[in-house]
């Protein structure tokens, strides 16, 4: 595979790829995402705005596969549901035009649940069908793979070649404890004043439990509805970025650029992909 990673973030698709596959170019407008991507994958993504990227800038890489996680706000349960009307869909719309003119061999997309009922999905599927792509669609969650984290997402995988039908992995559910840092960071504990105000709204979990809520980009700043908080003997604390990264299935060696503030780390992780789920989806291309 010669892959293009579009809306590349920290490179979740790159981490999920089998060894023989390769990402030949990545694209993202976020400098913190691009610095993190380069540190972990040794490839600097292009920071060009995808909404007006000339088709040649994609085609010059002679990629056969497009891997993409377009911005999800236009399709979110909590969002405005404007779909393709939302200005944040401009880049995706532009890519659909290029896709129609210059279809790659395969395309893989991840987005929030709800995308499958959107005008964007309808437009994408129409293009794929008109070019005779085989297509599989799934709503998947890391909790289906034994990981104690809720992150329901929609996945579409399409190819001009027949698709494989990978068996669901066998797993033993793992407790939250398996994903915790060996040495905890005491600065992650919430103060009495914060707890007095917000405790009733917090999603509280314990190390022995088998569930955490979806960690969103605002976890570093928001408390309610942003992810789970861990109850320990010492109090209640946030999960550290490395614990969230572990729950996403990022490798132990995953790093952020030195000095990247905590809220930006949570933001990048909150945009991220569940790697074991993404890896399973990619197995469809191994027919």
Ligand X SMILES: C[S@@+](CC[C@H](N)C(=O)[O-])C[C@H]1O[C@@H](n2cnc3c(N)ncnc32)[C@H](O)[C@@H]1O
User: Nearest CA to 153 among 91, 66, 77?
Assistant: 77
DSSP string computed for 37-89: HHHHHS-PPB---GGG--HHHHHTT--SEEEE----GGG-TTS---GGGSGGG
Q: What is the footprint of ligand X within residues 153-182 (CB under 6 A)? A: none
* 27 touching ligand X, by CB under 6 A: yes
User: Is 141 a known active-site residue?
Assistant: no
Interface residue with ligand X among 3, 4, 12, 99 (CB under 6 A) is 12
Contact region for ligand X (CB under 6 A) — 21-29, 99-107, 152-160, 164-172?
21-29
Q: How far is the CB of 82 from ligand X (least distance, A)?
A: 15
List the catalytic residue out of 72, 76, 139, 141. Answer: 72
Q: How far is the CB of 76 from ligand X (least distance, A)?
A: 11
Rounded to whole angstroms, the Cα distance separating 196 from 51 reads 45
Residue nearest to ligand X (CB): 9
DSSP string computed for 249-276: T--TT----TT--HHHHHHHHHT---HH
Q: How far is the CB of 84 from ligand X (least distance, A)?
A: 14
Rounded to whole angstroms, the Cα distance separating 162 from 150 reads 31
Phi/psi zone of residue 182: left (φ > 0), alpha (ψ -120 to 50 degrees), beta? alpha
* 10 touching ligand X, by CB under 6 A: yes
- Residue 238: helix, strand or coil by DSSP? strand
Interface residue with ligand X among 3, 58, 65, 71 (CB under 6 A) is 71
Interface residue with ligand X among 49, 85, 181, 192 (CB under 6 A) is 49
Point out which residues bind ligand X (CB under 6 A).
7-12, 27-30, 33, 49-51, 69, 71-72, 91, 271-273
Catalytic residues: 72
């Amino acid at each position: 595979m010669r892959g293009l990673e579009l809306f590349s973030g920290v490179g979740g698709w790159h981490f999920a790829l089998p060894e023989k596959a390769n990402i030949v170019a990545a694209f993202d407008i976020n400098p913190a995402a691009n610095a993190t991507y380069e540190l972990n994958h040794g490839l600097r993504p292009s920071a060009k705005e995808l909404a007006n990227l000339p088709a040649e800038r994609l085609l010059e890489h002679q990629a056969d596969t497009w891997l993409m996680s377009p911005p999800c706000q236009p399709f979110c349960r909590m969002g405005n549901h404007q779909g393709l009307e939302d200005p944040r869909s401009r880049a995706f719309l532009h890519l659909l035009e290029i896709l129609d003119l210059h279809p790659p061999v395969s395309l893989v997309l991840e987005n929030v649940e709800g995308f499958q009922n959107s005008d964007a999905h309808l437009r994408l599927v129409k293009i794929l069908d008109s070019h005779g792509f085989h297509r599989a669609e799934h709503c998947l969650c890391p909790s289906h793979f034994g990981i104690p984290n809720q992150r329901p997402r929609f996945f579409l995988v399409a190819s001009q070649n027949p698709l494989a039908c990978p068996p669901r992995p066998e797993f033993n559910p793992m407790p939250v404890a398996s994903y915790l840092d060996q040495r905890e960071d005491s600065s992650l504990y919430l103060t009495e004043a914060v707890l007095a105000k917000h405790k009733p709204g917090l999603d509280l979990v314990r190390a022995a439990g088998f569930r955490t809520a979806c960690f969103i980009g605002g976890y570093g700043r928001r408390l309610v509805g942003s992810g789970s908080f861990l109850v320990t003997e010492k109090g209640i604390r946030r999960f550290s970025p490395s614990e969230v990264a572990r729950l996403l299935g990022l490798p132990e060696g995953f790093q952020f650029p030195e000095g990247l503030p905590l809220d930006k780390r949570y933001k990048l992780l909150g945009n991220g992909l569940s790697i074991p789920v993404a890896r399973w989806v990619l197995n469809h291309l191994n027919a």
